[in-house]
Chains A and B, each alone.
Chain A
């Protein structure tokens, strides 16, 4: 067991626990967008930054709680002024690339981010990588991944071609923190979907057109798959 202090409260957690898990076990609410139960920690959104170290004995630093392993005697502050200031700026950056996401809007409200000082670019993706990890770690498909780097980075299939290994399971959509609705495909464009026809889009496969229907609300019902003609390996449930 490792002993540490979170916001001054002493706690003991098993070795190898992340600071995020330790804090959550105490009920401290740390915002996260790229962390998900069952998926490996990634540390991309940086919203879960916490201040570690003892200000009395030296400089403290900000680290992402989801990827930082607990250490004996570690002192953590989850909502110090420095942390809050950083989170506010990160939320402002997120809002500037994903203004229509309810999840980010809620975070902005919680942290009193009331304006976006950057020119807004509605990209509908914060590159948190949840979908990529879901596809690789839970669905064992590795159909999607990141391409390019820096500001050109995007989530896509290899060579932007329709994926042969994608089973259209919808796991990627399920975990996406910025598209609250399940994808309804280009037949039902809405403010979030935008009829993008991405390589993993359900309707992007000709052989599946007509194989699914929108049942209203936020769900998609798949019609009996055999009616839909030839399917790729793996298949749709």
Chain B
């Protein structure tokens, strides 16, 4: 069925909504995190039981995108009572069907608990994790079934597109986006409206819009979750963008490592074509546009826009000098607008609610919200969306729930390998493009890794440098050789073999790599080193001067010893030791042979008496 007018769309929405609002519904999270924890089994069990009890007709069962609280998956929410269950296993399903669905009784043990009061919480919204968020882009993630376009339509989907095509000229759309203050969510924060205006003005009969879904930061999954959970919001944004810049072809560049996202997108594209939102004469207007999927072959550097263009054209993804910018010369030499997944998903919202609404969110220069994937040494890991300008502290302590018991948060790494580490005393920094940039970090695409007192910052810098020297394309000297040499220097420091002059050399080299590299990867590759040197210099100095790792992480600088006065001689640590380095008799203090010890830390984990210490 092709939809030709806004009127038709509104009628359809009313019809779909009527069903939606009145039918009880079970939503099982089908995000990658929850799937890994067995949500597919949970879904299958629900299907089976509902079938058995003859409830399939009266209760809707949906496999949705990511709910956000990945830490406690698999997640199940039930409408209309809004009961929110966490860590649901297939064996719990019978109880949920029997108690909650049939008798409206809540199962206490499956409810989430408030980390502060400890009280069981019935509804999602009552959890501080959700309460402090501002979910606009993610509002339908976890609510709708991403494989069914009618779900998106029931919540006003594609109406922004219909309104745009019926009422606005391309220039007006660009003006709306400019007035909203939307900036690129991929990292650098270039004003989206300005980019579109440049592309509209660029000469060329064929123009492209591209969705950059090459999310490669370690520990980041914002774009993936969005593509998996609500693909149509991204498509709708792209279609509106294409209309604004005059593009006829669209490309979604998505990582091959995201098979679920690729599958969801395929289905979404097919359904959008079926309804006439893609293809010839969309909504009866002269505007024609279609989108194809290009799967990335797994290079971090392909997220850089010129390298992405090379990859789309079938070449090795290596960046080139800008200018010319892609808005002038992009894919196959045609003007091309490349925006991040999250940026595109913001577009329909801005059209629907108006630029002033969007501009009222956030700070003076950074508008709207930002999605972060919150990971690391924190209680609530998951996908969060916050208004720009929220402080790091609020994000980490209130939404994230603070550190695990008896730990202390030391720093956050924000913006992935291109970002930087911010220490605890900067946690009152508002999260916006400028503040983060001044502190030496960057917004990046939205990865946020929390580190506690058992994290060595030199080791962290070394980890990211290892990632980057591997992911550098190797085209330009400072990035290829610079990251490799920085990695060597950091390894020397971690092994206690470095001198004071190595620290100066590291800093000098980091600065040159930042200044002279060809593309964004190299230009930001030094950030982890520069920020850790800036905020955690004492840790570096401890490694160099005292040959000591304050966090007791760097293996070359630590030793595991058994305290004879505390060791009860229980033999528990003997068998786990992979190198048979521990010797001892029952009820006699054990001893670790330092020559054989691999420093794996297993003895520390199994000791019940705190007799193993790291010195």
Q: A46 and B478: CB pair below 8 A? A: yes
Write out the residue numbers on chain A whose beta carbons fall within 8 Å of the beta carbon of B316.
Answer: 146
Q: B483 and A150: CB pair below 8 A? A: yes
- Picked from A85, A97, A151, the residue with its CB within 8 Å of the CB of B512 is A85
A85 to B515, CA, bound (A): 11
Q: A43 and B472: CB pair below 8 A? A: no
The chain B residue with its CB closest to the CB of A46 is B516
Cβ of B136 < 8 Å from any Cβ of A?
no
- Given A43-B320, A64-B321, A119-B488, verify A150-B516 contact (CB < 8 Å): no
Question: Closest CB of chain A to B7's CB: distance in Å?
Answer: 50
Question: Closest CB of chain B to A63's CB: distance in Å?
Answer: 7
Max chain A C-beta neighbours (<10 A), residue from B301, B321, B488, B518: B321
A64-108 Cβ-contact flags toward B at 8 Å (1 or 0):
100111010000000000100110011001101100000000000
- Picked from A42, A62, A68, A150, the residue with its CB within 8 Å of the CB of B470 is A150
A234 to B423, CA, bound (A): 63
Q: B516 and A90: CB pair below 8 A? A: yes
Interface residues of B in 457-499 (CB under 8 A from A): 469-478, 480-485, 488
- Picked from A71, A82, A93, the residue with its CB within 8 Å of the CB of B477 is A93
Cβ of B299 < 8 Å from any Cβ of A?
yes
A2 to B471, CA, bound (A): 38
Q: A90 and B478: CB pair below 8 A? A: yes
Cβ of B505 < 8 Å from any Cβ of A?
yes
Write out the residue numbers on chain A whose beta carbons fall within 8 Å of the beta carbon of B321.
Answer: 43, 63-64, 67-68
Question: Closest CB of chain B to A178's CB: distance in Å?
Answer: 12
Q: B517 and A153: CB pair below 8 A? A: no
Write out the residue numbers on chain B whose beta carbons fall within 8 Å of the beta carbon of A46.
Answer: 476-478, 516-518
Write out the residue numbers on chain A whose beta carbons fall within 8 Å of the beta carbon of B501.
Answer: 117
Cβ of B508 < 8 Å from any Cβ of A?
yes
A63 to B470, CA, bound (A): 24
Cβ of B323 < 8 Å from any Cβ of A?
yes
Write out the residue numbers on chain B whose beta carbons fall within 8 Å of the beta carbon of A127.
Answer: 474, 477, 480
Question: Closest CB of chain A to B311's CB: distance in Å?
Answer: 13
Cβ of B570 < 8 Å from any Cβ of A?
no
Cβ of A226 < 8 Å from any Cβ of B?
no
Write out the residue numbers on chain B whose beta carbons fall within 8 Å of the beta carbon of A64.
Answer: 321, 516, 518
A198 to B471, CA, bound (A): 26
A121-164 Cβ-contact flags toward B at 8 Å (1 or 0):
00000110100000000000000001011111100000000000
Write out the residue numbers on chain A whose beta carbons fall within 8 Å of the beta carbon of B508.
Answer: 89
A71 to B515, CA, bound (A): 21
Cβ of B439 < 8 Å from any Cβ of A?
no
A117 to B512, CA, bound (A): 15
Cβ of A44 < 8 Å from any Cβ of B?
yes
Write out the residue numbers on chain B whose beta carbons fall within 8 Å of the beta carbon of A68.
Answer: 321, 323
Cβ of B509 < 8 Å from any Cβ of A?
yes
Q: B478 and A151: CB pair below 8 A? A: no
A151 to B466, CA, bound (A): 10
Question: SS class of chain B's interface: helix, strand, loop or mixed?
Answer: helix
A45 to B505, CA, bound (A): 20
- Picked from B477, B478, B505, the residue with its CB within 8 Å of the CB of A117 is B505
Question: Closest CB of chain A to B520's CB: distance in Å?
Answer: 13
Write out the residue numbers on chain A whose beta carbons fall within 8 Å of the beta carbon of B478.
Answer: 46, 90, 93
Q: A151 and B480: CB pair below 8 A? A: yes
Write out the residue numbers on chain A whose beta carbons fall within 8 Å of the beta carbon of B488.
Answer: 118-119
The chain A residue with its CB closest to the CB of B508 is A89
Write out the residue numbers on chain B whose beta carbons fall within 8 Å of the beta carbon of A150.
Answer: 469-474, 480, 483-484
- Picked from B323, B324, B482, the residue with its CB within 8 Å of the CB of A93 is B482
Interface residues of B in 40-73 (CB under 8 A from A): none
Q: A93 and B481: CB pair below 8 A? A: yes
Write out the residue numbers on chain A whose beta carbons fall within 8 Å of the beta carbon of B474.
Answer: 127, 146, 148-153
Cβ of A208 < 8 Å from any Cβ of B?
no
A182 to B323, CA, bound (A): 37
Cβ of A168 < 8 Å from any Cβ of B?
no
Q: A151 and B509: CB pair below 8 A? A: no
Q: B477 and A90: CB pair below 8 A? A: yes
- Picked from B505, B516, B518, the residue with its CB within 8 Å of the CB of A86 is B516
A114 to B469, CA, bound (A): 27
A46 to B7, CA, bound (A): 58
Cβ of A49 < 8 Å from any Cβ of B?
yes
Write out the residue numbers on chain B whose beta carbons fall within 8 Å of the beta carbon of A148.
Answer: 474
Question: Closest CB of chain A to B128's CB: distance in Å?
Answer: 41
A120 to B328, CA, bound (A): 43
A151 to B483, CA, bound (A): 9
The chain A residue with its CB closest to the CB of B317 is A149
The chain B residue with its CB closest to the CB of A66 is B321
Write out the residue numbers on chain B whose beta carbons fall within 8 Å of the beta carbon of A96.
Answer: 481, 485
- Given A43-B320, A96-B485, A146-B474, verify A153-B518 contact (CB < 8 Å): no
A151 to B476, CA, bound (A): 11
- Picked from B301, B320, B469, B516, the residue with its CB within 8 Å of the CB of A151 is B469
Question: Closest CB of chain A to B143's CB: distance in Å?
Answer: 41
A63 to B518, CA, bound (A): 8
A150 to B488, CA, bound (A): 14
- Given A43-B321, A93-B477, verify A151-B484 contact (CB < 8 Å): yes
Question: Closest CB of chain B to A144's CB: distance in Å?
Answer: 14
A146 to B512, CA, bound (A): 25
Q: A49 and B320: CB pair below 8 A? A: no
Write out the residue numbers on chain A whose beta carbons fall within 8 Å of the beta carbon of B473.
Answer: 149-150, 153
Question: Closest CB of chain A to B463's CB: distance in Å?
Answer: 15
Write out the residue numbers on chain A whose beta carbons fall within 8 Å of the beta carbon of B324.
Answer: 69
A43 to B471, CA, bound (A): 19
Q: B516 and A149: CB pair below 8 A? A: no
Write out the residue numbers on chain A whose beta carbons fall within 8 Å of the beta carbon of B476.
Answer: 43-46
Write out the residue numbers on chain B whose beta carbons fall within 8 Å of the beta carbon of A126.
Answer: 477
A36 to B299, CA, bound (A): 29
- Given A49-B516, A86-B512, verify A149-B485 contact (CB < 8 Å): no
A38 to B512, CA, bound (A): 30
A126 to B481, CA, bound (A): 10
Write out the residue numbers on chain A whose beta carbons fall within 8 Å of the beta carbon of B299.
Answer: 149
Interface residues of B in 212-270 (CB under 8 A from A): none
Write out the residue numbers on chain A whose beta carbons fall within 8 Å of the beta carbon of B475.
Answer: 42-44, 129
The chain A residue with its CB closest to the CB of B468 is A150
A90 to B471, CA, bound (A): 20
Max chain B C-beta neighbours (<10 A), residue from A71, A148, A151: A151
What are 6 A-B interface contacts by the 8 Å CB criterion? Answer: A43-B321, A43-B518, A44-B475, A63-B321, A67-B320, A94-B477
Having A146-B316, A151-B474, one finds 19 other A-B pairs with CB under 8 Å, namely: A49-B516, A67-B320, A68-B323, A82-B515, A89-B509, A90-B477, A93-B481, A117-B505, A118-B485, A127-B477, A127-B480, A146-B474, A148-B474, A149-B472, A150-B471, A150-B473, A150-B483, A151-B472, A151-B481
Pairs A-B, 8 closest by C-beta atoms: A153-B474, A67-B321, A89-B512, A151-B484, A150-B472, A93-B481, A46-B516, A62-B515
A residues at B contact (CB < 8 Å):
42-46, 49, 61-64, 67-69, 71, 82, 85-86, 89-90, 93-94, 96-97, 117-119, 126-127, 129, 146, 148-153
